[in-house]
Amino acid sequence: MAAPRWLMPLLLPLSMAVAGAMSPAEAPIKQLQFHYRSLPVRTGAGEGALVPAQQVSLHDITPALRHFIAEVGIRDGTLNLVSRHTTTALTINEMETRLVDDVRDWLLRLAPPSEPYKHNDLHLRPASADDLARIDRNWMSQGKGTLEEFMAQEPINAHSHLLAMLLGASETIPIADGELCIGQWQSVILVELDGPRERTVGAQVVGVC
């Protein structure tokens, strides 16, 4: 089986040395590089602070990813993406207006916001010592406020968490000749499931120039 195209720049020096074209010391070595960036995505329109309203929306982040790859100069490698939130997801599909409407409507039918989810019973949370420890680590210990203040700002969004788990939080895409290896009609999409909000996507490029 042939090696992936992005791996060829790493294997070529070794194959040339083995074939006797040059000694291992003479073979050019391309250094594997790692570049990470947290890419901001604003999932609401207009300026000013965004007020979450349990909205579902889709956002094409492909142009930002292509700009990132071009900026760091990676020619062959892999792009690793991760959603950095528990109520957003990542997917690859067509970014067509009426299809976006279909996706939004289908997701809300799949997990209706009005269902009686246990996560939405804020008066019964935190429900365990582990839950309290997580809130302390991510809220009180960071000086953001008290437990009561944390619970007061908690959204009613169990359906958003469930949909995020179904859709998935990560994608891995090959890079060849400096381009994302996606199809003509494919876009890399951040799916907002509890918006609008200020979001980020973790992006790491691994490869060679």
Q: Is there a contact between 200 and 41 (Cβ–Cβ < 8 Å)?
A: yes
Cα 26–Cα 3–Cα 65 angle in degrees, nearest 5: 95
Predicted pLDDT at 47: 86
Mean pLDDT of the 144-157 span: 96
- Percent over 90 (pLDDT), the chain: 81
**Model pLDDT for residues 32-72, shown as the tens digit of each residue:** 999 999 999 999 988 888 988 999 999 999 999 999 999 99
Burial of 201 (0-12, 13-18, 19+ CB in 10 A): buried
Residue 169 above 50 pLDDT? yes
Higher-confidence position of 134 and 16: 134
Q: Rounded to an integer, what distance in angstroms lies between the CA atom of residue 104 and that of residue 111?
A: 11
Quote the pTM value: 0.85
Residue 184 above 70 pLDDT? yes
Quick one: which of 168, 195, 199, 170 has its CA closest to 108?
195
The pair of structure tokens assigned to 35 is 């570049």
> 3-state SS string over 105-133?
HHHHHHCCCCCCCHHHCHHHCCCCHHHHH
Residue type, position 175, single letter: I
Mean pLDDT of the 124-153 span: 97
**Model pLDDT for residues 90-119, shown as the tens digit of each residue:** 999 999 999 999 999 999 999 999 999 999
Helix (H) or strand (E) holding 192: strand 187-195
Helix (H) or strand (E) holding 85: none
The pair of structure tokens assigned to 161 is 């968490």
Average per-residue pLDDT for the chain = 91
Predicted pLDDT at 48: 86
Q: Rounded to an integer, what distance in angstroms lies between the CA atom of residue 73 and that of residue 31?
A: 13
Distance of alpha carbon 13 from its chain centroid, rounded? 34
Distance of alpha carbon 74 from its chain centroid, rounded? 19
Predicted pLDDT at 5: 56
Residue 13 above 50 pLDDT? no
Predicted pLDDT at 123: 96
The pair of structure tokens assigned to 21 is 């074209």
